[in-house]
Homo-oligomer: A and B are copies of this chain.
Amino acid sequence: MKHRRILLLNPGAMGAAVGACCKQAGHQVYWVSEGRSPASRQRAQAQELTEAATLREALRKVDIVISVCPPHAAQETAAAVIEQRFRGIYVDANAISPATSQTIQQQLEAARIRYVDGGIIGQPPAKAGTTRLYLAGADAQEVAGLFDGSWMDARCLDAPAGAASALKITYAAWTKGAGALLGAIRALAQANGIEEALLDEWALSQPELVGRSRYVAERADKAWRWVGEMQEIAATFEAAGLPGDFHHGAAEIYQRLALFKDVEEAPSFLQVSNALLKP
């Protein structure tokens, strides 16, 4: 495949790793420094991504944009690209509902930008075999080819745009939804003075839960960005006529943990319980 120029919006932990995979496959990957944090700069430089000062400048150089950002920022990221009269392929790889994906698709296509719907499952890849980028839409195959020979396992779904978002949403509905539920249960046990008895019963009959119930503590630094993701998931359930309640609950849990944003060290479960019980 020929050498391509790609803009990666933006180099967060996952975004920088996605950009690194495109570089690994032999492409040139840009990032936009305007308005980004020192941590983003550090990650972009560590992966040797090419700096562009502004979005405008970057979009003049590339023919593919890949959006990897918190779900609540997905629409404004697409809107900013449309505003610059970009022509090319726009990949949204965010944890958004199929309906939000469809809205973005319509806005992009009205501006004559080709849309590919994506969803990432797994951790930021630091080796092969850990992470899939699912893709759907007319140009999915072309985008998948960008990752040939990289650590990212890019897979095309034989389905229209929206399917990759739906897959990501249903996958995260369990991992992050169940994580929130389990954390809330453990806080509830504490509030009722039976946390030790519950942990003893779990050790006996559900031994994996003792460790799993620490998920919300171990991932507390990410909670702030999962609020929007839980809302996208709830909206997806409701659009299908299913109850969105599970993920409204999960959104509330992660909202109460947003104070742990970017902490260096995971809080103790007691700190998590206190944040959940006395918000």
Known: A166-B193, A187-B242. 13 other contacts (CB 8 A): A122-B205, A163-B194, A166-B192, A166-B194, A167-B189, A170-B185, A170-B188, A173-B181, A174-B182, A181-B246, A242-B276, A245-B246, A245-B249
A26 at the interface (CB under 8 A from B): no
Q: Which A residues, 163 to 212, have Cβ-Cβ distances below 8 Å to chain B?
A: 163, 166-167, 169-171, 173-175, 177-178, 180-182, 184-189, 191-194, 197-198, 201-202, 204-206, 209
| Across-interface contacts of A277 in B (CB, < 8 A) | 240-242
Query: Given A157-B194, A194-B157: A177 and B181 within 8 A (CB)?
Result: yes
Query: Given A188-B170, A198-B170: A253 and B243 within 8 A (CB)?
Result: yes
Q: Are A166 and B189 in contact (CB under 8 A)?
A: yes
Interface 1/0 per residue, A237-257 and B, CB below 8 Å = 100111111101110110000
A80 at the interface (CB under 8 A from B): no
Q: Are B157 and A170 in contact (CB under 8 A)?
A: no
Q: Are B178 and A192 in contact (CB under 8 A)?
A: no
By size class, the interface of chain A is 35 or more
A219 → B minimal CB distance (Å): 16
Query: Given A132-B201, A184-B237, A185-B173: A193 and B245 within 8 A (CB)?
Result: no
Query: Given A177-B181, A182-B174: A163 and B245 within 8 A (CB)?
Result: no
The number of times this chain is found in the oligomer is: 2
Which residue on B lies nearest to A195, using beta carbons? B170
| Across-interface contacts of A187 in B (CB, < 8 A) | 240, 242
The interface centre, meaning the residue of A186, A201, A277, A279 with most chain B CB atoms within 10 A of its CB, is A201
Main secondary structure of the interface of A (DSSP, over half): helix
| Across-interface contacts of A94 in B (CB, < 8 A) | none
Q: Are B188 and A240 in contact (CB under 8 A)?
A: yes
Q: Are B245 and A197 in contact (CB under 8 A)?
A: no
| Across-interface contacts of A174 in B (CB, < 8 A) | 181-182, 185, 206, 209
Q: Are B246 and A249 in contact (CB under 8 A)?
A: yes
A85 → B minimal CB distance (Å): 33
